[in-house]
Structure 1
Amino acid sequence: MVTEIAKAKLNLALHVRARRPDGYHELETLFAFVADGDVVQVEPSEADSFTITGPFGALLSGEGDNLVTRAASAFRERFGGGAHAITLDKRLPVASGIGGGSADAAATLRALGVLHGVAVDEMFDIADRLGSDVPACLFGRSAIGRGRGEQLEPVAGLPGMPVLLVNPGVGVSTAEVFRRWDGVDRGPLPVDPRAGRNDLEPPARAIAPVIDDVLEALAASQGAGLVRMSGSGATCFALFEDVASRDAAVEALAGRGWWMLASYLT
Structure 2
Amino acid sequence: MTKDKVSVEVFAPAKINLCLHVTGQLENGYHLLDTLVAFADIGDVITVSSTGPGALAVTGPEATPELSSDNNIMWHAAQKFWHPDTYVSLALEKHLPMASGIGGGSADAAATYRGLLRLRAALEGQDIPRDPTRQDAHDLLEIGADVPMCVLSEPARVRGIGEQIEPITDFHPYPIVLVNPRVQVSTPSVFSQLATKQNATIEPWPESFEDRDAVLDWLSAQRNDLQDAAVGDCPSIGDVLGALSAHETCRLARMSGSGATCFGLFDRVHKAEAAAEEIRAAHPNWWVQSGRLNGGRRAAPQLIRSTT
Q: Report TM bin, short chain.
A: over 0.9
Q: Greater CA deviation, 31-40 or 150-159?
A: 150-159
The alignment status of 1:95 with 2:74, answered yes or no, reads: no
CA contact (8 A) 2:82 2:116 kept: no
The alignment status of 1:17 with 2:34, answered yes or no, reads: no
Cross-structure match for 1:2: 8
Measure the CA separation in 2 of the matches of 1:186 and 1:58.
37
Measure the CA separation in 2 of the matches of 1:5 and 1:61.
17
Cross-structure match for 2:151: 138
- TM-score by length of structure 2 reads 0.82
Cross-structure match for 1:69: 75
% same residue: 41
Cross-structure match for 1:147: 160
Equivalent residue in structure 2 for 1:260, among 256, 273, 288: 288
Q: Which amino acid aligns with 1:121?
A: P
Report the alpha carbon displacement of residue 191 of structure 1 after superposing the two structures with TM.
1.8
Measure the CA separation in 2 of the matches of 1:143 and 1:60.
31
Equivalent residue in structure 1 for 2:45, among 39, 46, 69: 39
Report the alpha carbon displacement of residue 184 of structure 1 after superposing the two structures with TM.
4.5
Equivalent residue in structure 2 for 1:212, among 229, 238, 260: 238
Measure the CA separation in 1 of the matches of 2:269 and 2:241.
19
Q: Which amino acid aligns with 1:109?
A: Y
Q: Greater CA deviation, 190-199 or 142-151?
A: 190-199
**Alignment CA distance shift 1:103-1:61 (3 Å):** closer
Measure the CA separation in 2 of the matches of 1:167 and 1:6.
18
Measure the CA separation in 1 of the matches of 2:49 and 2:183.
34
Cross-structure match for 1:201: 227
CA contact (8 A) 2:57 2:68 kept: no
Report the alpha carbon displacement of residue 157 of structure 1 after superposing the two structures with TM.
5.2
Q: How does 1:231-242 map to 2 (within 5 A)?
A: 231-242=257-268
CA contact (8 A) 1:102 1:131 kept: yes
Measure the CA separation in 2 of the matches of 1:24 and 1:105.
20
The alignment status of 1:121 with 2:132, answered yes or no, reads: yes
**Alignment CA distance shift 1:206-1:59 (3 Å):** farther
RMSD (CA atoms) = 1.6
Report the alpha carbon displacement of residue 154 of structure 1 after superposing the two structures with TM.
1.0
SS in 1 for 2:178: strand
CA contact (8 A) 2:141 2:162 kept: no
Q: Greater CA deviation, 204-213 or 110-119?
A: 110-119
Cross-structure match for 1:106: 110
Unaligned runs of 5+ in 2: 1-6, 122-127, 206-217, 295-308
The alignment status of 1:54 with 2:60, answered yes or no, reads: yes
Q: Greater CA deviation, 44-53 or 1-10?
A: 44-53
Q: Which amino acid aligns with 2:102?
A: I
Measure the CA separation in 2 of the matches of 1:216 and 1:248.
16
Report the alpha carbon displacement of residue 22 of structure 1 after superposing the two structures with TM.
1.0
Measure the CA separation in 2 of the matches of 1:174 and 1:157.
31
Unaligned runs of 5+ in 1: none
